[in-house]
Amino acid sequence: MNFSDIQKLVDLAEADLRLFDIDKQLRDLDASFKTLEEKEQKAAEIVFAAAKEKENAALKRKNAEISLAQAEESLKKRKESSQNIKNAQAAQKLESEMAALSDEISNLETEILSLMEAEKEAEDRKKNAEKEAAEARKSARDASVKIKEKEDSLSALKKQEEEKRESLAKLCDVDFLSKYEAVKKKKFPALVSCSFREGKLFCGGCGMSLTASQSEEIKKGNSLLNCMNCFRLIYFKK
Please give the residue ranges that form the binding site for Zn ion (CB under 5 A): 203, 205-206, 208, 227, 229-230
Q: Which distant-in-sequence residues (6+ apart) come within 8 Å of 215 by Cβ?
A: 200, 201
Q: Rank residues 3 and 231 by Cβ distance to Zn ion and give the closer one.
A: 231
- Rounded to an integer, what distance in angstroms lies between the CA atom of residue 172 and that of residue 9? 6
Three-point CA angle 187, 190, 194, nearest 5°? 120
Q: Rank residues 136 and 201 by Cβ distance to Zn ion and give the closer one.
A: 201
CB of 232 to Zn ion, least distance (A): 5
Q: Which distant-in-sequence residues (6+ apart) come within 8 Å of 229 by Cβ?
A: 203, 206, 208
Query: What is the DSSP secondary-structure string of 111-123?
Result: HHHHHHHHHHHHH
CB of 186 to Zn ion, least distance (A): 12
CB of 208 to Zn ion, least distance (A): 5
Q: Rank residues 15 and 194 by Cβ distance to Zn ion and give the closer one.
A: 194
Which residues is 93 bridged to in the sheet? none
- Rounded to an integer, what distance in angstroms lies between the CA atom of residue 210 and that of residue 227? 8
Q: Rank residues 133 and 203 by Cβ distance to Zn ion and give the closer one.
A: 203
Q: Rank residues 36 and 183 by Cβ distance to Zn ion and give the closer one.
A: 183
Tell me if 153 sits within 8 A of 14, measured CB to CB. no
Q: Rank residues 41 and 229 by Cβ distance to Zn ion and give the closer one.
A: 229
Which residues is 195 bridged to in the sheet? 202
Q: Helices 3-81 and 174-184 meet at what angle, rounded to 10? A: 30
Q: Rank residues 58 and 230 by Cβ distance to Zn ion and give the closer one.
A: 230
CB of 192 to Zn ion, least distance (A): 7
Strands of 72-229, DSSP E: 191-197, 200-203, 225-226
Phi-psi region of 232 (alpha: psi -120 to 50; beta: other; left: phi over 0): beta
CB of 234 to Zn ion, least distance (A): 7
CB of 215 to Zn ion, least distance (A): 14
CB of 13 to Zn ion, least distance (A): 15
